Structure 1
Amino acid sequence: MSLATHVRTLGRGPGRSRSLTREEAAEAMALMLDGAAPEAVGALLMLLRMKGETADEIAGFAEAAQAALPEVGPVDLDWPSYAAGRTRGAPWFLLSAQLVAQSGRRVLIHGWNGADGQVRRGLDHLGIPVAAHAGDVRPLLDRHGIAYLPLETAHPALFALLSLRDTLGLRSCINTVCRMLNPGRSGASVQGVFHPSYRLLQADAAARLGWRQLSVIKGGGGEFERNPAKAMDAFGLRDGTLWQQSLSPLIDETRRLSESAVGLAALREGADAPFEQRIVLGTAALALATAGEPAPMTTARALWDGRARSNAA
């Protein structure tokens, strides 16, 4: 079957077109990854954008994209980072991910951030190792408990589909698929979105894929990063069941995430920056809760205090 079959399914017109089934979506993704005609790829992606993706379509796409990756696990917490060009200020969530790794959990960050180099520079500043390819992930996790897997080297075919945004001029469902990629086949994932409507879509898709734990928030610049000065709603899964929770502000202060004169390394080394520390702790606590930690904020604070004592020594 060619990709044109799926384009016809989506584009037959009012009363005749329909969404793809999960199986059809998986087949369509396999065809796109295998080098389907670029005209058909563009047509399918833009028809999906106009229609709006369903949870079955995202689940099928993600399933096929993941199947094209080698095993890199075990991973305790999946942490996608795909907020291309929208990172505001320092990527504080990287410090949060390090705290989760300090708890003894294996954390895999994977991503691509377009022309915005702040995430990649942040990895270097914090000493988070970057895998040259998927085969490097397991030994890096064994050694450090945390690693970053760049999409462009881990999954070149999916990266090429993501990069079509530059050609088409519009975001496509591939952005969501990348967030759902879960290279380590982890049962727990944390995800940030820029548009709130995607929170429930990704939760529904994760449930179809059999994931157990998931937290999705409208985070800082589209990353999984909590602004401690704002209330927010979190969506996802707990023990495989759809879950939603309203989160209250952690600090009585009105500030933007970009309003900071402190850098990542300085905060890690003990700089006096209460607002930024609350970003890190609030984000880490929600990630720890997703990974099954029963007292997430208490644990996050203890890990942070332990880091401070270590730096002082």
Structure 2
Amino acid sequence: MNLTHHEQTPRPEHPFAEYIRILGKGKKGSRPLTQEEAYQSMKMIMAGEVLPVQLGAFLMLMRVKEETPEELAGFVLAARESCNLAAAQSIVDLDWSSYAGKRRHLPWFLLSALLLAENGITVFMHGASGHSADRVYTRDVLKYLGLEYATSIEQTRQQLEQQHFSYLSLEYFCPKLHEIIELRPLLGLRSPVHTLVRLLNPFNAAYSIQGIFHPGYRPVHQQASALLQQPHAAALKGEGGETERNPDMECLVQSVHNGQLFDENWPALFARRHVKPEELDPRQLAAIWHGTVQDEFAQSTIIGTAAIALKLLGKAVTQQQAHQLATDYWLNRDKQKYAGL
């Protein structure tokens, strides 16, 4: 068979192929990326220098092996640079990620964040919504509390000044990452982007708190935060994967403070588990805040989650002090606020 000259000329290898090969070269040949390799690969992804077939292969190879702290730190640094977040000035006390959505319970953690905000702690919440149809996402419930979500960094700054709280979706400050998250229905799986967005900390806050679903990711977040030189960060297995303490279960919080790693167990607040509600009605959020409805699970979740944040923030030395302070905040809240739909 005669080959034409065109067929004999090998195509030059695409620069991104190297990173796919590192991850996918079989059980014995593959290895994790170094932090620098992770940084360079994500930089190419963010710059649109990667073909769709390469992106899909890369994301799924990473998904199968799971990210190392070094890979995660490299990805985050590249994403921050590409989205112009690296030099953002810190006007935020606590960075709070909200990407999972809730399925079994309402997002009570939102009231925890508002409780902190009411007491002068500036809380910036970022997330994404809509990639799982059966979940309740933070952005979609804000209206039930009479709150608007921000649609720009500038609007977020205004909201933080006015009310010490703002929620901004990923699509408004890092559209490329949002685009990749939206691939989930095509790939059938979450990707490393679902992990790295939790660590973005767009306003460079000194304190950051993240919820994860799979316990194996908790130390990865903790160690990646240390590599990113995040001064103070905490990761916990949150209810449904959100940053929310389930009062029916023991909660291990893995944190970093100025480069030192700490593990701390918070005990369950109830001996018996509560039955999950039949349906999720977001109007209950305002009703609980106003005190027109009593729900011990909701109240304990709100206070318990706020307590973990207060201890992370250094507002209390012991768990008991943090819990008491959160309880005081709750009992003294302005019940007239947050009249939503």
Q: Say whether the fold is shared (TM-score over 0.5).
A: yes
For residue 249 of structure 1, the aligned residue among 268, 284, 301 is 268
Q: Which stretches in structure 2 are left out of the alignment for 5+ residues?
A: 1-13
How many Å apart are 1:252 and its aligned residue?
3.6
Q: Deviations over 1:155-206 (max 9, x none)?
A: 1100111112111111111110111111111121111111111001110100
Secondary structure in 1 aligned to 2:107? coil
Letter in 2 for 1:90: L
Deviation at 1:113, TM superposition (A): 3.0
Cα offset, 1:81, TM superposition: 0.6
Residue number in structure 1 paired with 2:56: 42
SS at match of 1:235: strand
Between the aligned partners of 1:53 and 1:146, the Cα distance in structure 2 is 31
Note if 1:15 corresponds to 2:39: no
1:299, distance to aligned residue in structure 2 (A): 1.9
User: In structure 2, what is the equivalent of residue 137 of structure 1?
Assistant: 156
In the other structure, the counterpart of 2:296 is: 274
Letter in 2 for 1:264: L
- Is the 8 Å Cα contact of residues 199 and 236 (structure 1) preserved in structure 2? no
Measured against aligned partners, the alpha-carbon deviations of 1:19-39 in whole angstroms (never above 9, x if no partner) come to 111111111111111112111
CA contact (8 A) 1:234 1:245 kept: yes
Q: 1 CA distance for matches of 2:120 and 2:112?
A: 14
Q: 1:212 to 1:18 in 2, by over 3 A?
A: same
| Alpha-carbon contact 2:126-2:167 (below 8 Å) kept | yes
Structure 1: runs of 5+ lacking an equivalent: none
The DSSP-based 3-state class of the residue aligned with 2:53 is helix
Match of 1:207 in 2: 226
SS of the residue 1:302 aligns to: helix
2:91 is aligned, of 74, 86, 110, to 74
Taking structure 1 as reference, are residues 212 and 87 closer, same or farther at Cα in structure 2, changes over 3 Å only?
farther
Please tell me the residue identity of whatever aligns with 1:112. Answer: A
Relative to 1, partners in 2 of residues 1:183 and 1:257: Cα closer, same or farther, differing over 3 Å? farther
Q: Which amino acid aligns with 1:113?
A: S
CA contact (8 A) 2:229 2:258 kept: no
Equivalence for 1:156: 175
Is the Cα contact below 8 Å between 2:218 and 2:235 reproduced in 1? yes
Is the contact made by 1:72 and 1:134 (CA closer than 8 Å) also made in structure 2? no
1:31 maps to which residue? 44
Map Cα deviations across residues 101-146 of structure 1 (whole Å, 9 max, x no partner): 1221110100013233442232112234411112322121111100
Q: Does 1:218 align with 2:237?
A: yes
Q: Note if 1:300 corresponds to 2:322.
A: no
Pick aligned residue for 1:90 from 97, 103, 106: 106
Post-superposition offset of 1:48: 1.2
Query: Which residue of structure 2 lines up, in the alignment, with residue 56 of structure 1?
Result: 70
C-alpha spacing 1:132/1:268, structure 2 compared with 1 (3 Å): same
Alignment counterpart, residue 103 of structure 1, candidates 115, 119, 136? 119
After superposition, where does 1:161-240 map in structure 2 within 5 Å?
161-240=180-259
Q: Distance in 2 between matches of 1:24 and 1:258?
A: 46
Contact 1:76–1:187 (8 Å) recurs in 2: yes
Greater Rg, structure 1 or structure 2? Answer: 2
Q: What is the letter of the counterpart of residue 60 of structure 2?
A: M
- Provide the C-alpha distance between the structure 2 equivalents of 1:24 and 1:135, rounded to a whole number of angstroms: 33
Q: Is the 8 A contact 1:87 1:220 kept in 2?
A: no
Matches of 1:19 and 1:154, distance apart in 2: 29
* Cα 1:66/1:87, change in 2 over 3 Å: farther
User: Aligned to 1:15, what secondary structure does the other structure show?
Assistant: helix
Whole-Å separation in 1 of the counterparts to 2:336 and 2:186: 49
The CA distance in 2 between the partners of 1:221 and 1:231, in whole Å, is 15
TM-score between both structures, scaled by the size of structure 1: 0.92
Distance 1:251 1:117, change over 3 A: closer
Aligned residues: 310
The DSSP-based 3-state class of the residue aligned with 1:90 is: coil
Amino acid aligned to 1:59: A
TM-score by length of 2: 0.85
2:286 is aligned with 1:265 = yes
In the aligned structure 2, how far is the partner of 1:54 from the partner of 1:19?
7
Query: What secondary structure, in the 3-state scheme, does the structure 1 residue paired with 2:29 have?
Result: coil
